Amino acid sequence: MTPTDLQRLLAAAGHYTGAIDGEIGPKSLAAIDAILVAHAAECTSDPARWSAKRRSAGAAQLALRHAGCDPGVIDGYAGNQTTGALLQWNHRQAYGRDLVLDTTRTGPAVDSGFPKQSGCNGYYGAPGPAVERQLVMIDLPFPMRLDWNLSHRVARVQMHARCAESAQAAMREILRKYGIDELRRLGLDRNAGTYNPRRMRGGTAWSMHAYGCAWDFFAGPNGLTTRCPQALFCGREYRKFFDIWEAHGWISLGRAIGRDWMHVQAARL
């Protein structure tokens, strides 16, 4: 999220009338204040107590939400859901239509006992109360950092009961393979999200996160549309990470469709 992105969002939301110059001056700050005051009730806590950086991110999140691009909770932390919402919004601004993501298979199928995406309703339940009743918390075998707030430590994550055991087993094996110091060096300790009741970017179908059967790691260099060789996780050092997930029946979207390298899921394509 750049200062120019923020100014464009605030201008589109009707709160900013200055130049789109990437300089966060008095007009930009007034626009940030205005949107936060107008929609303070939508924030997870009092935005008046947030840092300047967090207020800027929160203002962008509000502008995205009110433009119909879901950034997730309005917490002032620009995580990968906010990044995805900005990607969707920018595409609409440029082309006047919603983003349609390429799902062409680029890798071989993985032997898995988990359902196809089209069968997730029958296997996991319909997103909403039917899934929520089956969510469990799993203890992590090593401490993780929250990807968009690295000072926050994560000891447990929420997953669907029908894939939680395999996820926990995969993470234990990953720890044995890499060790905690190497996991941290490679960014494999950066938790970018598990359960999240939202729709897929570029469509109306439910995200695999809405079933509690998906996990994202280190979103920044492994984004939704990032392909090799730009994606960090397509490097040699990460091969065993994905080998382990696949051995437990999970699918890497990076390997399967050549993009979204942050994402693994307990559902076949």
What pLDDT sits at residue 97? 87
What pLDDT sits at residue 201? 80
Task: Print the SS3 string covering the chain.
Answer: CCHHHHHHHHHHCCCCCCCCCCCCCHHHHHHHHHHHHHCHHHECCCHHHCCHHHHHHHHHHHHHHHCCCCCCCECCCCCHHHHHHHHHHHHHHHHCCCCCCCCCCCCCCCCCCCCEHHHHHHHHCCCCHHHHCCEEEEEEEEEEEECCEEEEEEEEEEEEHHHHHHHHHHHHHHHHHHCHHHHHHHCCCEEEECCCCCECCCCCCECHHHHCCEEEECCHHHCCCCCCCCCHHHCHHHHHHHHHHHHCCCEEHHHHHCCCCCEEECCEC
Regarding beta strands 135-146 and 190-193, do their DSSP bridges make them parallel or antiparallel, or are they unpaired?
parallel
Asked if the model's pLDDT at residue 34 lies above 90, the reply is: yes
What pLDDT sits at residue 203? 73
pLDDT tens column, 114-161 = 999 999 999 999 999 999 999 999 999 999 999 999 999 999 999 999
What pLDDT sits at residue 200? 87
Asked if the model's pLDDT at residue 243 lies above 90, the reply is: yes
Asked if the model's pLDDT at residue 30 lies above 90, the reply is: yes
Regarding beta strands 214-217 and 263-265, do their DSSP bridges make them parallel or antiparallel, or are they unpaired?
antiparallel
Taking a C-beta distance cutoff of 8 angstroms, is the pair 261, 222 a contact? yes
Least confident of 30-34, 146-150, 201-205, 265-269: 201-205
Look up the pTM and report it.
0.87
What pLDDT sits at residue 268? 96
pLDDT tens column, 84-98 = 999 999 999 998 988
CA pair distance 198, 205, nearest whole angstrom: 9
The mean of the pLDDT values for the chain is 95
